[in-house]
């Protein structure tokens, strides 16, 4: 089971690190290309987006560290579960309140759910 856990942590850690890095470095282009969202050059909005993106980047580094260092595996799995399930919960709340988003964002929800379930599986396998 250990190899499955390493693969989960490696894939999701790289994914979150990459997305976080893209969004920190150039949020206007990244959101337009990957989410279909056109951002204005609003300093306050960009500041908020870069802040959340930096959390994603750091979360990805923590998750990925669990694939490299066995003592970090449990912590990395918990962080992955919280981030991916947290994003999915927030998006479902938004759908209920604000309506259905575009296809690209719905695809994002699917990835977040799959990655969140993968981390839950990894945690469960560690505890058994």
Q: Express each pLDDT in 61-84 by its tens digit.
A: 999 999 999 999 999 999 999 999
Integer-rounded Cα radius of gyration of the chain: 15
Residue 54 scores a pLDDT above 90: yes
Residue 114 scores a pLDDT above 70: yes
Residue 53's alpha-carbon distances to 24, 83, 99, in angstroms, are 5, 12, 24
Tens digit of pLDDT for each residue in 5-52? 999 999 999 999 999 999 999 998 888 787 878 888 889 989 999 999
Q: What is the CB neighbour count within 10 angstroms for residue 106?
A: 12
Say if residues 9 and 66 touch (Cβ distance below 8 Å): yes
Q: Binning pLDDT at 50, 70 and 90, where does residue 1 land?
A: low
User: What residues make up the domain containing 17?
Assistant: 2-127
Rounded CA separation 27/10 (Å): 24
Backbone phi, then psi, for 26, in 5-degree steps? Answer: -155, 75
Q: Which stretches within 2-102 are classed as H helix?
A: 2-25, 27-35, 43-68, 73-98
Task: State the residue for tokens 């790289």.
Answer: 14
Rounded CA separation 21/45 (Å): 17
């Amino acid at each position: 089971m250990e190899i499955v856990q390493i693969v989960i942590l490696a894939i999701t850690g790289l994914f979150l690190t990459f997305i976080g890095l893209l969004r920190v470095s150039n949020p206007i282009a990244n959101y337009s290309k990957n989410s279909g969202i056109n951002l204005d050059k609003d300093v306050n909005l960009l500041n908020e987006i870069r802040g959340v993106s930096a959390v994603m980047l750091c979360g990805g580094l923590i998750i990925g560290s669990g694939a490299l260092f066995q003592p970090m595996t449990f912590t990395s799995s918990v962080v992955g579960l919280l981030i991916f399930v947290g994003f999915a919960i927030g998006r479902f709340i938004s759908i209920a309140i604000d309506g259905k988003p575009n296809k690209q964002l719905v695809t994002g929800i699917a990835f977040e759910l799959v990655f969140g379930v993968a981390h839950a599986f990894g945690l469960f396998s560690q505890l058994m």
